[in-house]
Amino acid sequence: MEILVTGITGYVGSRLAPRLQREGHRVRGFARGKAAATPGVFVVRGDAVSGAGLEQALADIEVAYFLMHSMERSSNGAFATRERAAAANFVRAAQAAGVRRIVYLGGLLPAGGPASTHLASRLAVEKVLLEAIPDSVAFRASIVIGAGSRSFRFLVRLVERLPVLAVPAWRSHRTQPIDERDVLELLTRAAASQPVGGQSLDIGGPDIVTYGELIERIRDLMLVGRPTISFRRLTATPIASRLASVIADEEYGLIGPLMESLGEDLLPRDNRAAELLHVKLHSLDRAIEHALREWEAIEPLAAR
């Protein structure tokens, strides 16, 4: 199958391309900047927000993975505006090229609908893609546990660098983090699976945890002692996110919107994705241990 992986220089895209190749697919990449060489993958340089390069990237493609997000700071408008523009340009080019399916990875939504700009933007992009190419598939995930996941790395850096873990009121809200390996398996199988066509599917691991419990699990599996202080009434996310981004050495443009989404439970509606695609899910502890081992194989963690 001829497959396009957009965002191929990013966390998920860079890991997904080799996985698709192992399944026998012919993979092409799309990226804004210069891409690292992936054997057997031709990368088209372009920009979905402006539309540059999309026609060339999508020519003769059967399935396209939409893994582009625009949360970083830019002079080219707010990230939600850029994401909608990128999605609109992408579907026009995909329709013209005869693409039969787009596979999208977005974010889990609270039961009452998106309450943050970040999640509202993810939902808007999802709707644009599925309405344009009806056989498309949208996955919605919470925190992906992997050595290259910026949300996971953010939490690890906080545990590593803070002698006392001060957690705001959102620590009590629940979610279901998912192992990177399971995300890649679900994405890969979605390329050719008929039962998932035209659906929005929530994905999550088997463990339901609060954000506070997730931080404590990471702390314990890192084998470090970090007392936790819970501020039950403190919900000053803008202040907390700015401080946290400095401590973790992450861009506030990324951390701010992510922490804005922590104000409610983010739980999958059901487990249909794993059932339809026959994927056995890793436990949270195994996911964290695997991610930490992979991280430490390249870069030691000071706290360990």
User: 58-67, 184-193, 230-239, 294-303: which range is least confident on average?
Assistant: 230-239
Reply yes or no on whether the pLDDT at 247 is more than 80: no
**Domains held by the chain: number:** 1
Residue 97 lies in a domain: yes
Which pLDDT does position 194 carry in this prediction? 96
The per-residue b/e assignment along 232-259, b for 16 or more CB within 10 angstroms, e otherwise, is eeeeebeebbeebbeebebebebbbbbb
Query: What does the pLDDT read at residue 234?
Result: 53
pLDDT confidence tier of residue 74, bands split at 50, 70 and 90: very low
* 103 found inside a domain: yes
Q: What is the DSSP string of 35-72?
A: PPP-TT-EEEE-BTTTTBTHHHHHTT-SEEEE-----S
pLDDT band at 77 (very low <50, low <70, confident <90, very high): low
Q: Are 106 and 138 contacting, i.e. CB atoms less than 8 angstroms apart? A: yes
163-177 pLDDT per residue, tens: 777 666 667 889 999
The conformation of residue 266, written as its DSSP 8-state character, comes to B
pLDDT for res 78: 77
pLDDT in tens, 113-148: 887 788 899 999 999 999 999 999 999 999 999 999
**Domain extent for 272:** 2-142+178-203+268-279
Domain assignment present for residue 260? The answer is no
Q: Flag whether pLDDT at 203 surpasses 70.
A: yes
Distance CA 55, CA 46 (A): 10
Q: Identify the CATH number of the domain in which residue 56 sits.
A: 3.40.50.720
pLDDT band with cut points at 50, 70 and 90 for residue 75: very low
Decide: 179 and 140 in contact? Cβ < 8 Å.
no
Residue 47 resides in a domain: yes
Higher pLDDT, 158 or 145: 145
Q: Is 237 inside any structural domain?
A: no
Q: What is the pTM of this model?
A: 0.90
- Tell me: pLDDT of 292 over 70: yes
Q: At what angle do helices 150-161 and 284-298 cross, to 10 degrees?
A: 80
- Tell me if 289 is assigned to some domain: no
